Amino acid sequence: MMPLAIKALLSGILIAIISEIGRKLPTVGALVASLPLISVLGMVFLWNARPDPENMAIHAEATFWYVLPSLPMFLLIPAMLRHGVSFWIALVAGCLLTVLLYLAMMHLAPRFGLKL
């Protein structure tokens, strides 16, 4: 199994590369950031730690459902910034919205037969 420090370093390098791309080319940086690189990397790490197809299927499916509540954050933040709200307040508001939507997803998912 890959040590935690190597996993963290690899993840950090990906984030640093994305931020450097975004600094020079914001749209390309957004495209690269939107790629599920960290999710795929996480699945590889999980598979290496526990090569169980059912466990991986549950993980991948739950990841899909948990991505949905995070998407409105990416509309709220730019809307707030364009209306003169400071970056930090917009970021906190976006994160709070995401947490509330995650909680709603966890509450509503079982009603629709989703196991999260």
Give per-residue pLDDT as tens, 65-78.
999 999 999 999 99
Domain ranges of the chain: 1-51, 53-116
Q: How long is the chain?
A: 116
Cβ 22 vs Cβ 29: under 8 Å: yes
Cα dihedral 72, 75, 78, 83 sign: negative
| pLDDT score, position 103 | 96
Q: Confidence class of residue 1 from pLDDT cuts 50, 70 and 90?
A: low
What pTM did the predictor assign?
0.78
